[in-house]
Structure 1
Amino acid sequence: MDAAPGRYCFSCGGRLARDNPGSRCARCLHRGRLEQDEAPELPEHFWQTDQLRDAFAAQHIGLVSVAYRVNPHHRRPISQERLGRWLGLTQAQVSRIESSPPIRDLDRLTHWARTLRLPPHLLWFDLPGRPRPRPAAVTARQELSSRGTLMPVALVGGTLETIRSAALAFRAADRQLGGGRLYAVVVRFIQTEVTPQLVGHTYPPSAVFAAAASLTDMAGWLAYDDDRGDLAAQHFVQAFGLATAAGDQALSAQALVSQSHLALENDRPRDAVRLANAGLALVRDDPRCGALRSRLYAMKARGNALAGVSSECLTALRDAEQELACTAPGEHEWLSPFDEAALAAEAAICLRDLNDWNAAERQALRVLELRTPDRARSRAFTNLTLASVQLRRGDLDAACETGTRVLDAATHLASDRVVSQLRALGRRLEPHRGATTVDDLLGRVTATLPAHRTAEAP
């Protein structure tokens, strides 16, 4: 077919046929239709992201699915609906698999692996006719085990690697899915994979107790994100006990951070400050805990801000900044991350509570500058802080525009806390009904947000 001079395919750069009025050649159009119907071939570097490696190591096909869909290689994230079409599943089924305990059925795992073209060497199961290569260490361990030789150290090491990888994968998925979809998964993992390692051993290693403390603290935050404060409190107390059993003062201090945060949410600023000070006393001289000390000072600052003690709040914020700036490499592996954006988010809340609107807005905008789009929940909470600042300053249009951004994000997050704070923003906007932007946002909130449910344990 004759080619049209001066017209080229938008995708491949080849010259377009004269009778082709579009912007892509027939070959690229065909390839595009195939990509809609089946998973594409992907380059080797696609599988090398930390999130995918951790998901594979956690042996959870749902977490692999999340990491696959949001991989930066895609021009835009793959939707659950599109992935479901490839797999012959509904969007709801994909969502349930991503947020439920791991699938163990080999036929279903094989279907996912073949459909998504998962590399066999990354899998934790064998595809029919394609056994995975066994590392020499694994082969030796299996051989010794078959001869009745006990290998407690090796087994514990392997368990720790699995727990470590699962924790990283859970944390990455939580940032994108929200606590409501992951709480039951993490609790089940603790019950089935972690707790058994704490019993039945003559000398359970402190490292397992440390891992259990970290995951239990994470479970508390997932419950808190799902608006289950009573469950969160129980997990935080359990995490402190496990950290004490591990002899790990840093993890004990982290559990106190979590309890301090919960005290703030329950309007108990003095308790929040007391718990933060207790945490600081535990990690006074630990060089690995600069970020943790910064987080503790941030909780102290928020408690003082809520109590209206401006000078103490600002002093604690300065201390938090100094600790974070002096954080040494080699951070404690089981501590939750705390970075510049996280500190800016806490500072924005402090300054809002002190009625310093301009400074609070600067800190909130700093968070949005630092947090990438995949950190959807973090950005949602920061936008909620920003909207509250804009509303208190009397800028209705800006507050509604910011609230709309949160509402758009909330439809993709399983976070009851985001929903409850959006509803609270709506209640504060009620007196301003009649303004077009307010009416539009309140109408969307009513139509979009799920009905409130009574929190129950899974």
Structure 2
Amino acid sequence: MSGERCCVECGARLSRYNAAQWCATCAPAAVDEPMEMSAQFWWSEHMLAALSTWHLGRVIYAYRTHPFHGPQPLSQKRVAAWLDVTQAQLSRIETGPAPEVITKLMRWARILRIPAELLWFKLPSTSTLGEVNRNDFLRTAAAVTATAAASPHGLLQLLNETTPADLPARVGSAEIEQLRAASSLFASWDARYGGGLVREVVATQLRVAVSYLRAGCAPRYRNDLYAAVGSLAHTAGFMAFDACVHRDATDMFALALKCAEEADAWQLRAKVLSSSARQAIWTGKPKEGLRFVQQAFLHSDRLTATERAMLYTTEARAQAKISAVEEVVKAVGHADDQFSRADPAENPSWMNYYDAAQHAGDTGHALFDLAIHGRFGGEARRRLQTAVAGHAGDAERSRTISMIKLASLTMATGDPDEAVGIGSTAVQRAASLRSMRAAEDVHELRTFARRAGAHLVQAAE
């Protein structure tokens, strides 16, 4: 087969995950320790499904049984030696309750070289980000945003080309504009690639932005500064939410809310509370999500019709999780009514994403939880189809997640063969994202597929 790679020792075909010259059997064993695995290894569905459980034992098991290792998984005995535990202890770690001792979690994660952005707990920082000039990065981000689209990989190279510099003694309109531009750029990366790709870098930039609040600032710029920091905090929080690093997301949303309220920025406040509500709903706390939405509706007359539509769709998603059918229908109706009055020219920049496709997807997601139980299935499907067809490439994550939901709904209530076609495409798309939310939705889709006796195509690596 053209392009096929073989082991230099035994001639066996090498796995697509294997960047080395040897197969797992023939690999040099002078020093038996975990090798550096490729990004394809870690971002494969096999590993993401395990990582999404927040159970390091299951992650270790997935590591041992990954297709990279060929037909023969790594033995428990060998991996136990790496982790400095007995084989019996590793067996209990893999099959028992999720380990919770953070020092052990950090040590095992470091030994296996698990990328920090995939973990649900924080590793001590070993990066050199503290040695670069983050102010130059913010300025460059502003310049790039103003002139051309940028890829994360290209712009992040700038972090290696800057030198240390002190934070400004005073902050004015130029620094505020840099923060706004950086927030806009990061948000566009998030929507296109998912929150896991550059989350740590954005968090670092957020710490710099917070330090601006301690610098001198003319009173006329004070509210704008707080609003700019709040917007960047919200972007960082949503990236953490998408990566399912929920403690970080909660802290960042809280910072964003405090900044918005300090700046008297009611529109930003509503957006932050809506995102906090979505995180609460995602983590199984829909009633807490409803409380956030109720807070966001305070002084709703200061919000645009698009923002009110956003809040009603969030309310509908929360109500659906507690099976409040009438409330879901009412909230979706209010959302549709508000969106019919929307004028994009009135919206703040962070609401540019909320177009007809986003509205259809968000309301379709709310109806999904009713549809899988036999209520409003046709309407949920129609809205999800509209979202999939309407999202552009700069909203790749939203389009993919709506496609996954559409496949799950079709698998549960419609034609499994049709669902396989939709779902296999969705799985392929999800593999190119760095979104743990999308990975968890794929896991849900596979559960529906198993119940229907259907088989989805594996993601290409």
Question: TM-score with structure 1 length normalisation?
Answer: 0.62
Cα distance in 2 for partners of 1:198, 1:387 equals 46
User: Deviation of residue 98 (structure 1)?
Assistant: 4.2
Aligned to 2:309: 294
Aligned to 2:429: 409
Aligned to 2:338: 323
Q: What's the secondary structure of 2:249's corresponding residue?
A: helix
Q: What's the secondary structure of 1:285's corresponding residue?
A: helix
Cα distance in 1 for partners of 2:443, 2:188 equals 27
- What one-letter code is carried by the residue in structure 1 that aligns with 2:240? A
Q: Is the 1:65–1:98 contact (alpha carbons within 8 Å) kept by the matching residues of 2?
A: no
Aligned to 1:389: 409
Cα distance in 2 for partners of 1:359, 1:392 equals 15
Aligned to 1:189: 205
2:440 is the alignment partner of 1:420: yes
Q: What's the secondary structure of 2:297's corresponding residue?
A: helix
Aligned to 1:399: 419
Residues 99, 157 of structure 1: alpha-carbon distance in 2 compared, 3 angstrom cutoff: closer
* Among 238, 247, 254, the residue aligned to 1:230: 247
Q: What's the secondary structure of 1:354's corresponding residue?
A: helix
Q: Is the 2:234–2:252 contact (alpha carbons within 8 Å) kept by the matching residues of 1?
A: yes
Q: Is the 2:446–2:456 contact (alpha carbons within 8 Å) kept by the matching residues of 1?
A: no
Per-residue CA distance 1:401-440 (angstroms, 9 max, x = gap): 112112211232111221121122213322444xxxx335
Per-residue CA distance 1:252-304 (angstroms, 9 max, x = gap): 2222111111121122222222221221123x211x52221111111111122
Aligned to 1:67: 149
2:261 is the alignment partner of 1:244: yes
Aligned to 1:102: 158
RMSD: 3.0
- What one-letter code is carried by the residue in structure 1 that aligns with 2:337? Q
Residues 354, 396 of structure 1: alpha-carbon distance in 2 compared, 3 angstrom cutoff: same
- What one-letter code is carried by the residue in structure 1 that aligns with 2:434? A
Cα distance in 2 for partners of 1:58, 1:422 equals 33
Aligned to 1:429: 449
Residues 431, 369 of structure 1: alpha-carbon distance in 2 compared, 3 angstrom cutoff: closer
User: Deviation of residue 360 (structure 1)?
Assistant: 0.8
Q: What's the secondary structure of 2:393's corresponding residue?
A: coil
Q: Is the 1:239–1:255 contact (alpha carbons within 8 Å) kept by the matching residues of 2?
A: yes
Cα distance in 2 for partners of 1:55, 1:401 equals 43
Q: What's the secondary structure of 2:434's corresponding residue?
A: coil
- What one-letter code is carried by the residue in structure 2 that aligns with 1:181? L
* Among 163, 176, 179, the residue aligned to 2:195: 179
Q: Is the 1:66–1:98 contact (alpha carbons within 8 Å) kept by the matching residues of 2?
A: no
Number of residue-to-residue matches in the alignment = 314
Cα distance in 1 for partners of 2:138, 2:230 equals 21
Cα distance in 1 for partners of 2:455, 2:327 equals 40
Residues 335, 191 of structure 1: alpha-carbon distance in 2 compared, 3 angstrom cutoff: farther
Cα distance in 2 for partners of 1:338, 1:220 equals 18
Q: Is the 2:180–2:232 contact (alpha carbons within 8 Å) kept by the matching residues of 1?
A: no
* Among 306, 311, 316, the residue aligned to 2:321: 306
Q: Is the 1:244–1:252 contact (alpha carbons within 8 Å) kept by the matching residues of 2?
A: yes
Question: What stretches of structure 2 of length at least 5 have no aligned partner?
Answer: 1-136
Residues 98, 424 of structure 1: alpha-carbon distance in 2 compared, 3 angstrom cutoff: farther
Cα distance in 2 for partners of 1:327, 1:55 equals 33
Q: What's the secondary structure of 1:281's corresponding residue?
A: coil
Residues 349, 414 of structure 1: alpha-carbon distance in 2 compared, 3 angstrom cutoff: same
- Give runs of aligned pairs for residues 41-80 of structure 1, distance below 5 A: 58=141, 67=149
User: Deviation of residue 175 (structure 1)?
Assistant: 2.2
Q: Is the 2:404–2:427 contact (alpha carbons within 8 Å) kept by the matching residues of 1?
A: no
Aligned to 2:293: 276
Cα distance in 1 for partners of 2:200, 2:157 equals 8
Aligned to 2:175: 159
Cα distance in 1 for partners of 2:243, 2:399 equals 17
Cα distance in 2 for partners of 1:318, 1:338 equals 17
Aligned to 1:119: none
Q: What's the secondary structure of 2:172's corresponding residue?
A: helix
Residues 440, 393 of structure 1: alpha-carbon distance in 2 compared, 3 angstrom cutoff: closer
Per-residue CA distance 1:297-330 (angstroms, 9 max, x = gap): 1111112222222222112112112222223433
User: Deviation of residue 380 (structure 1)?
Assistant: 0.6
Question: TM-score with structure 2 length normalisation?
Answer: 0.62
User: Deviation of residue 102 (structure 1)?
Assistant: 3.5
Q: What's the secondary structure of 1:206's corresponding residue?
A: helix
Question: What stretches of structure 1 of length at least 5 have no aligned partner?
Answer: 1-53, 70-94, 108-149, 449-458
User: Deviation of residue 369 (structure 1)?
Assistant: 2.1
> Percent of aligned pairs with the same residue?
22
Q: Is the 2:316–2:327 contact (alpha carbons within 8 Å) kept by the matching residues of 1?
A: yes
User: Deviation of residue 172 (structure 1)?
Assistant: 2.0
User: Deviation of residue 58 (structure 1)?
Assistant: 1.3
Residues 240, 302 of structure 1: alpha-carbon distance in 2 compared, 3 angstrom cutoff: same
- Higher RCO (CA < 8 A, seq sep 6+): 2
Residues 182, 151 of structure 1: alpha-carbon distance in 2 compared, 3 angstrom cutoff: closer
Q: Is the 1:100–1:181 contact (alpha carbons within 8 Å) kept by the matching residues of 2?
A: no
